[in-house]
Amino acid sequence: MSVPAIRNCLRVVSQVVNLFRNHSNANKIFQETIQEHAPDSKKKRLLRLCDTRFIERHDNIIVFLELFECIVMALEEIAQRTWTISSTASTLHSASQKSEFLVSIVVCEKLLSLTLPLSIFLQNKSSDLVSAVKYTNEVLSSLRQMRETANDTFTEIFQVASKFSANLFDTELQAPRVTSRQKSRANPQTTSNEVYFRVTTFIPCVDTLIQNLTDRFIKNEYILSNFKLLLP
């Protein structure tokens, strides 16, 4: 994903997963935290973030959000220890409470939920190009509708991210401070935190996903239509 906020978010998720999966002490605290604060959860282990299997990526984000409170609490406890991984846990704990991260991970979950059925279909060995294009058009239709109603759709996303921020960190979502001289960051002229994240994160992410799907599948529709003209 070329959107910086989303790319940074997924990197943090991957680092958190690796911390708990690669270090037994960290995993022990994580499991104890789940047992104490989410004993009814069927999810007990984070999934690695796969770069190619989007089904697994979607599942990873779902599990991550379901266990997010336990993740934050475990990171905070590990950060207070004197272990070699404590500084890493502290850094990840700080990263996980940033507004940009919270908004981005909820955006990821929302968009991946739309592309999940397509991903499942494409991994079926019996799938064909004609059906893939048809399926992709359906997903694109949903994405374009989401793009047209970006204000309302993102309001729902922003509310979910706001609850995470308030309940876990007792803070409100805040756009980063930027100036007109900052050229490396999208800098919309707005005083609204919701508008800022909608313009810099949500809309670019939707647009990028639409473009990627169009480039990968829909351009084949033209080839297929010409091929059909050759059929008797």
| pLDDT (tens digit per residue) in 119-172 | 777 777 777 777 777 888 888 999 999 999 999 999 999 999 999 999 999 999
Please provide the average confidence, as pLDDT, over all residues in the chain.
86
pLDDT at residue 222 in the model: 54
Over residues 208-218, the pLDDT tens digits come to 999 888 887 76
Cβ atoms of 197 and 175 closer than 8 Å: yes
Closest-CA residue to 71 (of 63, 80, 83, 82): 63
* pLDDT at 86 (0 to 100): 98
pLDDT tens digits, one per residue of 19-72:
999 999 999 999 999 999 999 998 888 888 766 555 567 788 989 999 999 999
Q: Which tops the pLDDT comparison, 184 or 126?
A: 126
pLDDT per position as a tens digit, 62-99: 899 999 999 999 999 999 999 999 999 999 999 999 99
